[in-house]
Structure 1
Amino acid sequence: MIPWIDEDNPVFPPVEQALKDPDGLLCAGGNLRPTTLLQAYSHGIFPWYSDGQPLLWWSPDPRMVLTPQTLHVSRSMKRFLRKMQWTVTADKAFPQVIEACSAIPRDDQDGTWITEEMMQAYINLYYLGFTHSIEVWDEKGKLIGGLYGVAMGRVFFGESMFSFETNASKTALVSLMNSGCYDLVDCQMHTAHLETMGGQIQPRSVFLIAMQTLIKRPTSSLVTGVESFYEK
């Protein structure tokens, strides 16, 4: 059994109480208000549930993370980036990015966990300056890829990415990692794709120590960071 937290005054239990099976399930209930979400992320907790389920909160152990130092970009991807005619931006189309992430089919999922309620919650955080997006546009100005997540200090908590063209989501991720804004990207759970990009597994305790230090450090503008990367 997992505890239920109060809807009006949610207090999260220690992450060490999260279940082993399913990995990381910590509690249910609460709400998706900005203060609640920021409290959760600052303790290594994130919401993940589907329509028809209660609001569920997770903190898996171990954790997959990515850093600028561990990022792996293949030779073919480097050649692609040098020659590509796409445009990469940041924070230009956050609502469109999260909507695309919710709509794209995924082999390991039946439906989407990015519900209407979740979308609105993260859009609210965007207008408060705590969520950010990377957008990839083709030569005709069509949105073909991107990602979004929550940012606190020098940590980016990655939520989802999408791609309508080969290499579009990889381009978004490489742009994020080379923006100079973040020292740690929380990928939450292991995927083979992220592992090929340099994602590494860490014990939750190690992740939390690094995360809680880095969220207190100031960062710079993601928009400026992405623009600077492509001006080089």
Structure 2
Amino acid sequence: MTSSMYLWVNVAVLSIPLIASFDRRVQFVGEWKAFWPACLITMAGFIAWDVWFTHEGIWGFNPDYLVGIDLLGLPLEEWLFFVSVPYACVFTYACMKKYVPESPFGLAHRSITFSMLVLCVALAITFSDRWYLGLTSVLCAAWLFYTLLRWKPWMSHFWLAFLLLLFPFVISNGVLTGIQFWQYPMIHAKPEAIADQIVWYNNDHNSGWRVFSMPADDLLYGMLLIGMNVTLFEWLRSRGDKLNLHA
């Protein structure tokens, strides 16, 4: 079990959303034609980023918790992470749109997006010398600016889904960054105290703050990962709808 811990985290994240996709009330399986291309396109960018940062020693992986299969210097489990997490998150987002059809935040979603954009710009400037937080903040700012510029009303449901996903996200990333994550303070700046890491981080390149065992920076990284998947998912869905209209 220990040598496949990361693999089991992926299985746990993916299992329930995948099974629920076939439920006739949800029917997320019908959205696969938009989801899978969105997932794979996003995955390509994040894998390239991952390979680069792993090579530079900005983060890395503890072989004690891996099955031992590598591709491009990344463990198999890391590749699966970019499938399991986006699947669970886009599935949750799609459920929010189905069961909460009205815009949950109204036009206030633009204020939320703008506030997050300002925060990301401030973080990018403040931590420009820390590659993980600096680059993540820049990319998040670019994505948020795009959604404001292009007027994406689905952002209201994105923010609702993101809020609901924070709890399971902290748990799954908590296990990855400190298996017994609950033993650490909820908020602290002592990353050197964390011992049981599946994924480790070079703290010279992040804020140094932790949520339990998880770098606080992962919240922005997660937002970007989910946001890019949802953006491409919605774009592909809209293209499919237009093609159906012209058919």
Greater relative CO (CA pairs within 8 A, separation 6+): 2
Q: Which has the higher strand share?
A: 1
- Asked if these proteins are the same fold (TM beyond 0.5), I'd say no
TM-score normalised over the length of structure 1: 0.29
Question: Over alpha carbons, which structure has the higher Rg?
Answer: 2
Q: Which has the higher helix share?
A: 2
